[in-house]
């Protein structure tokens, strides 16, 4: 932190002696009280990187335990805590904060604004989210769980009632789970409202909705989706706490409550949540793919329309997580169809990305490699998603390792790959330096190889009948060798992430100086300096097309002559 080039003092007036004199504590204080969207964006990214390492370590412990049948590295109780915390952390403390971090940093810059619409709400939301995360992890110290030996939540990240009732989950582990997510949920809602307000009201001159960069478009859609998905989860968690402490019986099957109500609530949140996580990944790919193949995005209006369609259709597919709870055949058929239909707009996106690449000049930098990995993996994830939507087949695959493999293909193969791509891409903007390409390529190849060793193999385990959430398995089931393979792949991914962490930290001091526009890109964030000044733009930019920098660089052949 000692020579942090991002500190406000340097940006505002680096020449005064006062700026040189500020102490470390003062700098820290400035980061805590900041309302600058760029600082908050960086805080979000650092916060989620920290929890990425934590939840990654939990995943590795899970894989060590499952490497051999009847392994005893973790007890059943500790294993259950780890898989619960791994899932909860990755979704709520890694996935969403990462994406909101990108949104915070990039959206105002891309639309030519000086900050978010509500800077104080922005800071408030971040600190709520951060408090929620640390509250969740405090449960390792603070809450006793099942049988008095547990302490962190151990009911699964889906926390199906009635396992969460006080009779089955005594102690306070489940309370920590619910309260921490309620708190971070409010933070998420605040940020979502903020992004919507910013995109609607803070765009610079000339930036009509249909000239907005696709990244901003998708974050707008994600924020609207967040508003309608987080709320049912928060409501259900309040109901759970009412059950546990105020004598409610919403989910208490012993007193006539219904487990199915919880399952519906959870997946009405849970399925759109997948799109909350994956649409920002699309958003990042939409920025990077055109720049690194030197072509405009193919079919911009179709991309916008497909994203809006996904938002609406994703609200009608939740019960495909419930094909085994005993719905009627008509309901099963309905949710099979609605789920398959998501494949149509998603397919349009993949085709449009390929068409964008077609005829381009593709530069295989680390950031582009991660996007290409994303394209292949997301294609496979989409196709296994079609398989799971086939409800009779889902009766076999549900809650098996096939499902684990499928959603890790989405959440790692698509979302995490795009997050890495986004970090390699915008790191230069936020720090003024480039991340090391050689280390980046090591990171990419090790991570991709490890990813495929782990998750390709998991599909087979699911077909061979291995259910999820089990802390050990019998040696006679024929799963032993494949599990060892999965664990080895996990280890390789772990090494890759450590290389990334090293690169991420060291490039801050030793990275090549980036300049304002290292990738020869086209959106507004690349017009300002790296890192941008606190006020972002000296004067309000004015745009005439979707690619304002293209127009500047090619005054003889500007985009606005062609855009419809």
Partner 1 sequence: MQTLRAQRLIHRGSATAWFLLTSSMLIAQGATPSTLAPASTPAHQIFDLSVFVVAITGGIFLIVGGLLALTLYRFRARKTDPLGEPAQIYGSTQIELAWTVIPILIVVVLFLTTARIIFAIQDAPKPHTALDVTVIGHQFWWEFRYPKYAVITANELHIPVSSDAAPEATFLKLTSADVNHSFWIPQLAGKTDLIANHVNTMWMDPKKPGLYLGQCAQFCGSQHAMMLLRVYVDTPEQFDAWMKNQQRAAPRDSTVEAGRTVFEKQACMNCHTISGTAATGRFGPDLTHLMSRATLASGAMDNSPANLRQWIKSPDTFKRGALMPAMQLTDEQLNQVTAYLETLK
In the complex with partner 1, the residue whose CB is nearer, 3 or 555, is: 555
Query: CB under 8 Å to 218, separation ≥6 — which residues?
Result: 279, 280, 282, 283, 286, 307
> Could you say which of 258, 437, 445, 560 contacts partner 1 (CB under 8 A)?
258
In the complex with partner 1, the residue whose CB is nearer, 47 or 522, is: 522
Pull the structure tokens for residue 555: 């005054």
Helix (H, G, I), strand (E, B) or coil at 381: helix
| Backbone φ and ψ of 513, nearest 5° | -65, 130
Query: CB under 8 Å to 88, separation ≥6 — which residues?
Result: 136, 153, 157, 177, 181
List the x/- string, 390-419, binding to partner 1 by CB under 8 A: xxxxxxxxxxx-------------------
Residues 457-496 that bind partner 1 (CB under 8 A): 460, 463-465, 467-474, 476-479, 481-482
CB of 89 to partner 1, least distance (A): 17
CB of 73 to partner 1, least distance (A): 14
Q: Do residues 89 and 58 lie in contact, with contact meaning Cβ atoms separated by under 8 Å? A: yes
In the complex with partner 1, the residue whose CB is nearer, 275 or 500, is: 275
DSSP string, 446-457: HHHHHHHHHHHH
Instruction: Give the separation between CA 162 and CA 262, rounded to whole angstroms.
Output: 9
Pull the structure tokens for residue 168: 């089955």
Instruction: Give the separation between CA 153 and CA 144, rounded to whole angstroms.
Output: 9
Residues 333-362 that bind partner 1 (CB under 8 A): 333, 336-337, 340-341, 343-344, 347-348, 350-352, 354-355, 357-362
The reply to whether 312 sits near partner 1 by the rule CB under 8 A is: no
Residues 47-106 that bind partner 1 (CB under 8 A): 75-77, 80
CB of 530 to partner 1, least distance (A): 23
Pull the structure tokens for residue 378: 């997301």
CB of 218 to partner 1, least distance (A): 18
CB of 516 to partner 1, least distance (A): 19
Give whole-number Cα distances, 137 to 44, 88, 133, 301, in Å.
17, 11, 6, 43
In the complex with partner 1, the residue whose CB is nearer, 131 or 334, is: 334
Opening angle at CA 559, ends 556 and 564, nearest 5:
140
Contacting range for partner 1; rule: CB under 8 A; set: 41-49, 161-169, 176-184, 206-214: 161-169
Residue with tokens 């792949």: 489
Q: Do residues 405 and 452 lie in contact, with contact meaning Cβ atoms separated by under 8 Å? A: no
82: left (phi over 0), alpha (psi -120 to 50) or beta: alpha
CB of 101 to partner 1, least distance (A): 29
* Bridge partners for 205 per DSSP: 542
In the complex with partner 1, the residue whose CB is nearer, 115 or 243, is: 243
Q: What is the largest CA-CA distance in the chain?
A: 75
Residues 501-560 that bind partner 1 (CB under 8 A): 554, 559
The residue count for binding partner 1 (CB under 8 A) is 100
**Exposed (0-12), middle (13-18) or buried (19+): which is 167, by Cβ within 10 Å?**
exposed
> Could you say which of 13, 26, 28, 253 contacts partner 1 (CB under 8 A)?
253
In the complex with partner 1, the residue whose CB is nearer, 253 or 529, is: 253
CB of 480 to partner 1, least distance (A): 10
Compute, in degrees rounded to 10, the torsion defined by CA atoms 544, 550, 554, 558. -40
Instruction: Give the separation between CA 41 and CA 282, rounded to whole angstroms.
Output: 19
CB of 408 to partner 1, least distance (A): 17
Residues 275-304 that bind partner 1 (CB under 8 A): 293-296, 298-302
Residues 219-248 that bind partner 1 (CB under 8 A): none
Residues 124-143 that bind partner 1 (CB under 8 A): none
The reply to whether 259 sits near partner 1 by the rule CB under 8 A is: yes
In the complex with partner 1, the residue whose CB is nearer, 73 or 340, is: 340
In the complex with partner 1, the residue whose CB is nearer, 476 or 538, is: 476
CB of 447 to partner 1, least distance (A): 18
> Could you say which of 375, 439, 449, 488 contacts partner 1 (CB under 8 A)?
375
The reply to whether 197 sits near partner 1 by the rule CB under 8 A is: no
* Bridge partners for 467 per DSSP: 400
CB of 246 to partner 1, least distance (A): 21
């Amino acid at each position: 932190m000692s020579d942090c080039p991002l500190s406000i003092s340097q940006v505002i007036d680096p020449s005064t002696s006062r700026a040189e004199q500020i102490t470390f504590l003062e700098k820290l204080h400035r980061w805590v009280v900041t309302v600058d969207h760029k600082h908050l964006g960086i805080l979000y990214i650092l916060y989620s990187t920290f929890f990425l390492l934590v939840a990654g370590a939990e995943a590795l412990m899970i894989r060590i335990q499952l490497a051999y049948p009847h392994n005893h590295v973790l007890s059943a109780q500790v294993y259950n805590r780890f898989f619960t915390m791994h899932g909860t952390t990755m979704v709520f403390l890694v996935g969403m904060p990462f994406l909101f971090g990108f949104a915070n940093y990039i959206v105002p810059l891309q639309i030519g604004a000086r900050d978010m619409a509500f800077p104080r709400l922005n800071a408030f939301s971040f600190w709520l989210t951060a408090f929620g995360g640390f509250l969740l992890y405090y449960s390792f110290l603070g809450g006793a769980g099942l049988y008095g030996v547990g302490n962190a939540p151990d009911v699964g990240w889906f926390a199906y009632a009635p396992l969460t009732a006080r009779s089955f989950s005594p102690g306070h582990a489940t309370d920590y789970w619910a309260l921490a997510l309620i708190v971070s949920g409010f933070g998420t809602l605040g940020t979502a409202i903020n992004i919507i307000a910013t995109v609607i009201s803070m765009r610079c001159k000339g930036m009509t909705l249909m000239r907005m960069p696709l990244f901003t478009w998708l974050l707008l859609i994600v924020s609207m989706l967040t508003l309608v998905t987080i709320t049912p989860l928060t409501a259900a968690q309040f109901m759970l706490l009412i059950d546990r402490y105020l004598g409610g019986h919403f989910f208490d099957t012993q007193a006539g409550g219904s487990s199915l109500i919880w399952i519906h609530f959870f997946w009405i949140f849970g399925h759109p949540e997948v799109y909350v996580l994956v649409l920002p990944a699309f958003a990042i790919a939409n920025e990077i793919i055109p720049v690194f193949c030197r072509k405009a995005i193919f079919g911009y209006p179709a991309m916008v329309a497909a994203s809006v369609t996904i938002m609406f259709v994703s609200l009608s597919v939740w019960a495909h997580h419930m094909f085994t709870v005993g719905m009627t055949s008509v309901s099963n058929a309905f949710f099979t169809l609605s789920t398959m239909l998501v494949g149509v707009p998603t397919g349009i996106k993949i085709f449009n990305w390929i068409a964008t690449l077609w005829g381009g000049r593709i530069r295989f930098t680390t950031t582009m490699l991660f996007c290409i990995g994303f394209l292949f993996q997301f294609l496979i994830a989409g196709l296994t998603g079609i398989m799971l939507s086939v409800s009779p087949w889902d009766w076999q695959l549900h809650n098996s390792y096939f499902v684990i493999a499928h959603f890790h293909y989405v959440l790692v193969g698509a979302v995490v790959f795009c997050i890495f791509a986004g970090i390699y891409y915008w790191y230069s903007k936020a720090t003024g330096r480039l991340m090391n390409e050689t280390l980046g390529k090591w990171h990419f190849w090790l991570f991709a190889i490890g990813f495929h060793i782990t998750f390709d193999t998991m599909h087979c385990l699911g077909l061979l009948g291995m259910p999820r959430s089990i802390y050990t398995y019998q040696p006679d089931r024929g799963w032993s060798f494949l599990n060892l393979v999965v664990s080895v792949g996990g280890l390789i991914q772990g090494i890759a992430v450590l290389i990334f962490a090293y690169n991420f930290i060291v490039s801050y001091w030793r990275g090549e100086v980036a300049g304002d526009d290292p990738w020869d890109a086209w959106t507004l964030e690349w017009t300002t300096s790296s890192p941008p000044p606190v006020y972002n733009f000296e004067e309000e930019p004015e745009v005439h097309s979707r690619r304002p920098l293209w127009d500047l660089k090619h005054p003889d052949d500007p985009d606005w002559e062609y855009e419809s």
